[in-house]
Structure 1
């Protein structure tokens, strides 16, 4: 039998670098709008800045030392984690339930699907203003229905919960689309086989639906956690971090230190810490996902 000889042709220098040339426009845009501001933030966090945001005095890790010794900062961290838990729970549960409701065909299904996905099309600032009217202690529909005259946004015990529920509802529209796509990808033959074996609806849900949706659920949770840590607009409109510091999440504290107190270096240090927290949580979630898949 004649032996087949494979001759590898040598690539020219242009052919070797051509692929990087295609990536150059995207890398340039990312460098200008993402990487450069990120490294500038890290650099500025090492300085004391003036009111114009210009570096005035090198402090080294002075901003970080002051930051970690601040009770206000640690309160913001605690409030942020509480806020994230509320937002993720409300957003994921609402998105999942509404996606399940739209899996069955019935008259008006398109209207219901559109209404469930509507939150993703509403600006958080606009919805926050509507929510503010709804929660008005005298004319708001919430107090009218409950027969109360409570200003929930001025109560430290309820302000964070209210803002968290609003943010979770706003995220539920996109979650609805993700879960709907995941449910639609499940093979109907799995349910048919389970029915032949005598499985009821609850067993189908536990042993077929939930395991099949694990990748989608993981993706939804990760994206919701990241988005929740970045929540700002609704807090700025509804509570401005109050009452007291009940809703003063890290992002709003960064805004307050940078644009109200003009401490840009200190706010930059907070931004770096926030980035580190989100990155660590994301890595942990991916590690947990990897162990479950192994």
Structure 2
């Protein structure tokens, strides 16, 4: 009987012993979470200072009129957005931005893809060409703008000197409203060529050689192999280049500020430069913040549409 009465005691001791590891497991999980947040803290602080705070400040300023010192003068609600959306200058800047995107994004992707396809060949000395094609990535926007400013010089232009041999009259690259935006687009294509080239070349190098050998055995030519095998397999790289290039084109500012300052006749007055003029030249911080938020919504919506419709044609391995 005594043995029977003492039987329930061991399970209790086991339950108490099992409670200690469970508690220690919870403590260790909290320690891991705190450690993870500790590693993320520097990045979150940087994002908070340079991204989230300016975004919140822009939302706040867009609801007010401000004085030249940026101090709040009067609450106007959404009147700044109404004024922007009813302004002809805003729609002109939007149209200029759309043309700028059409000039730069397809041309830049096509040029980088062509150079990547040519330099993907296994020939002697090809690494030198790969290095040369990647060089624009090491050039800053300011330095590149100064270089192209010399190339576009009205009287000392090297480009006009070359055109003179072909019997073509000199072109006023940056002072003619018809040529100003294409000239800046040409400079931007060259400036982004290095990055796009490296991304697309990496995609081509990731295609297995067995597929090329099988296509060659089947009698497929180089052009057909490229469009039927290479293009579908590097579609993720092409999609990435397209998304990044469009976002970068929407945010272009430095080359326009250095080369044309939005002129001539507002032919290069893209949205970002129009925001700069409103906020930091005319001191209308409320209107500039409203335009910045509209630009943010446009970029976000266009990116979502690209992922919703464009990603369907991307073939992931």
Is TM more than 0.5 here?
yes
The structure whose Rg is larger is: 2
SS in 2 for 1:157: helix
Partner of 1:187: 208
Partner of 2:29: 15
Partner of 1:4: none
User: 1:256 and 2:277 equivalent?
Assistant: yes
Q: Deviations over 1:59-112 (max 9, x none)?
A: 100110110110000000010011011111221112111111111133432221
Partner residue of 1:224 out of 230, 245, 251 = 245
Q: Deviations over 1:14-46 (max 9, x none)?
A: 623434444333222211221111111111111
Alignment of 1:233-272 (within 5 A): 233-272=254-293
Partner residue of 2:50 out of 30, 33, 36 = 33
CA distance in 2, matches of 1:279, 1:258: 22
CA distance in 2, matches of 1:33, 1:241: 26
The change in CA–CA distance for 1:94 and 1:277 in structure 2 (over 3 A counts) is: same
Deviates more, 1:141-150 or 1:211-220: 141-150
CA distance in 2, matches of 1:125, 1:38: 26
Report if the CA contact (8 A) 1:89-1:168 is conserved. Answer: no
User: 1:116 and 2:156 equivalent?
Assistant: no
**Structure 2 unaligned runs (5+)?**
1-17
Partner of 1:287: 308
User: 1:136 and 2:166 equivalent?
Assistant: no
Runs ≥4 residues deviating over 4 A: 7-10
CA distance in 2, matches of 1:205, 1:149: 39
**Structure 1 unaligned runs (5+)?**
1-6
Deviation at 1:247, TM superposition (A): 0.4
CA distance in 2, matches of 1:196, 1:271: 55
CA distance in 2, matches of 1:30, 1:279: 18
Partner residue of 1:145 out of 150, 154, 162 = 162
Deviates more, 1:161-170 or 1:134-143: 134-143
User: 1:83 and 2:104 equivalent?
Assistant: no
Structure-2-length-normalised TM-score: 0.86
CA distance in 2, matches of 1:243, 1:43: 33
Partner of 2:72: 55
User: 1:100 and 2:114 equivalent?
Assistant: no
Let me know the Cα RMSD of the aligned residues: 1.8
Report if the CA contact (8 A) 2:200-2:237 is conserved. Answer: yes
CA distance in 1, matches of 2:49, 2:280: 23
CA distance in 1, matches of 2:112, 2:275: 30
Deviates more, 1:132-141 or 1:73-82: 132-141
Deviation at 1:216, TM superposition (A): 0.5
Report if the CA contact (8 A) 1:94-1:169 is conserved. Answer: no
CA distance in 1, matches of 2:170, 2:39: 62
Structure-1-length-normalised TM-score: 0.93
Partner of 2:194: 173
The change in CA–CA distance for 1:290 and 1:143 in structure 2 (over 3 A counts) is: closer
SS in 2 for 1:152: coil
SS in 2 for 1:57: strand
Q: Deviations over 1:156-214 (max 9, x none)?
A: 11111110111011111100100110000000000111111111112211110110010
Q: Deviations over 1:140-162 (max 9, x none)?
A: 11111112233121111111111
